[in-house]
Amino acid sequence: MLLTLLSYKTSQVTTQKIVAIGSSTGGTEALKEVLVKLPANSPSIIIVQHMPISFTKQFAQTLNKICEVEVKEAQSSDYLGVGQVFIAPGDKHMVLRKSGTKYYLEIGSGHKVSGHKPSVDVLFNSVAKVAGENAIGVILTGMRSDGAKGLLKLKQSGAKTLGQDEKTCVV
């Protein structure tokens, strides 16, 4: 029985790296600048960009044309793989989930959090809970307070955290 429990627990461990990015006003250019420089074998990247529903899919398609990584608007049950970038759909929250050793996304509705939907705090809180030290959290320009609490949770979970320098931010 103990051997079964130990092997079950070990089989659920993953070292897959996840990068979670939160971005708002002016962030589309910052994201473009970062994503076009990434090689095709980059870790999985999940992004909340404050943007209306009618723009996120087009934004992802535009980035996909100019990047080596694959960029797409996220859908529920998308599994995260190397060289993939997922952008939360406008007016939907995106959270990270885990099945066995694989990460996947869940897209859903709900109330605005920190004044936004999608909310960076919602994404970051889920990444802290599910990926912890396997994650990197990044805050880009124009965020106000959305993402601040989630970034702290990421740091407390063992994730590395980064924030764009105020001098280079649009807002």
- Helix or strand run (H / E) with residue 149: helix 148-156
Which residues form the catalytic set?
A: 24, 50, 146
- Report residue 119 as tokens: 């909310």
Q: How far apart are CA 47 and CA 125, in angstroms?
A: 13
Chain CA centroid to CA 135, Å: 9
Query: Both ends of the chain: CA-CA distance in Å?
Result: 57
Distances (CA, A) of 144 to 8, 66, 120, 149, 155: 42, 29, 11, 11, 19
Closest to 124 in 3D by CA, of 90, 91, 89, 162: 162
Residue matched to tokens 């960076």: 120
